[in-house]
Amino acid sequence: MPLIRFKIHSMLTLKTITDETQTVINKLKKKNFHNNDIIIEVIETNKKLKFDKNLLDKNFSKLKTLSKITRQLITIGEKKKLELILKQVVSIKKHSKQLEFQIKKAECKLTELLYQIPNLPSEQVPEGKHSKDNIIEKSGGHIPSLSSGSLPHWELVKKYNLIDFELGAKITGSGFPVYKQKGAQLQRALVNFFLDSAREANYVEIQPPYMINMDSAYKTGQLPDKSNQMYCTTDGLYLIPTSEVPLTNIYQNIILDEKDLPIKNTAYSACFRREAGSYGKNVRGLNRLHQFDKVEIIHIDTQEHSYKSLQEMLNYIQNIIEKLELPWRILRLCGGDMSFASALTFDFEVYSAAQKQWLEVSSVSNFESYQANRLKCRYRGKDKKIHLCHTLNGSALALPRIVAAIIENNQTKKGIQIPKVLIPYTRFDSIS
């Protein structure tokens, strides 16, 4: 049964905020956004901006008229009238400069305010403030029963010399592990398997930069919302938290043709996140890192087709998890657990038998036109009109917790069995 009940929702543009103010306020409550003062300030700033622009247009019109009169007066030699007209011209030009300064200042303020307002949640998003309010949509796979004495992955990787957390901490710091021997080979095998799977599903592979500028981070919604989670260089560049950011920014300031949509891209990258405030037993080992590997998929699509694309992405990710023989489930996230820029998000989790808990390995979201509005990512439709695209992305997949689940769930007294689908990539069937 499909997870998505297809429906197009209104776009969070300046027009939406000004024309449907109360609807916007009510919908944002579902995301635990209650700063209505920003909404009101957006509307008031926009009103003042329009008023000043209107005055400036009138000034330009006056100057055009006065320019004609000036030429006439010069021709007939009316010096006194000419002096009066020239004084008016000076006064109007001075006023126009003031208006231009006010307009530029208001435009900057309006942009800054709009960047602080999250995307509207889809009607399919359940009410709730915490992860416990997420809805389990679907599940599958077999949860293994491990024998007594089974180990969590942070002990298994030490036992079999796969990952060295202490060495990574010495070189860089906590959360930057060093993968070794068959641990490094397993990482590479998973990346190649994920990329090959994506290519077979008609995703075009991209190798993006691992750094982005501030403008790109704003355009996809990482800034200002996630500023405390991103690594920033002294040059003002940011290490990417996911390859979604450079991939989606490929399509900024562009007009696509509807017949070329959906565009489907994939990329492997390292990802960098500060994970500030993450402590406790649930973040041990590979459960939460500052640097990790991930294969990402994105879609750029039409407004009418984007929810079909979302369903396609969910089916694809379910398929690759099933090939890895891992128990899985899909959660539909409640408003309080969603990202700043998402309209609707589904999380995939796999079960870790040794830890006896579910681990998130993928997040799949439709941003509708929220990112596209910032990016100016548009398409020319069959109606010959220009429309905003819808953007979508998903992890396919993030490696750390996949590795944790694979080695924990497949441990035996003789060693760790490798899932059949990975053996052509690892070129070994077990770790012992």
One-letter amino acid for residue 245 of the chain: V
Give the global pTM: 0.90
Q: Do 319 and 294 belong together in one domain?
A: yes
Which residue in 248, 241, 232, 243 sits closest to 209, CA to CA? 243
Tell whether 31 is covered by a domain: no
Q: Are 215 and 110 part of one and the same domain? A: no
Query: For position 346, what pLDDT does the model report?
Result: 98
Report the candidate in 210, 244, 211, 239 with the shortest Cα–Cα distance to residue 227: 239
Q: What is the domain count for the chain?
A: 2
Strand partners, 237: none
- pLDDT tens string 346-386: 999 999 999 999 999 999 999 999 999 999 999 999 999 99
- Tell me the pLDDT band of 132, cut-offs 50, 70 and 90: very high
Percentage of residues of the chain with pLDDT beyond 70:
96
- Report how far Cα 104 is from the mean position of its chain's Cα atoms: 29
- The token pair that represents 214 in the structure block: 């501030």
Which residues constitute the domain of residue 344?
131-431
pLDDT tens digit string along 255-279? 999 999 999 999 999 999 998 655 5
Q: Are 359 and 401 in contact (CB under 8 A)?
A: yes
Instruction: Give 73's pLDDT tier (boundaries 50, 70, 90).
Output: confident
> Residue 7's pLDDT band (boundaries 50, 70, 90)?
very low
Distance CA 264, CA 233 (A): 30
Residue 27 lies in a domain: no
Residue given tokens 């003042």 in the structure block: 48
- Measured over the CA atoms of residue 267, residue 270, residue 273 and residue 275, the dihedral's sign is positive
Is the Cβ–Cβ distance between 46 and 18 less than 8 Å?
yes
Q: Are residues 280 and 251 in the same domain?
A: yes
Q: What is the CATH number of the domain that holds 328?
A: 3.30.930.10
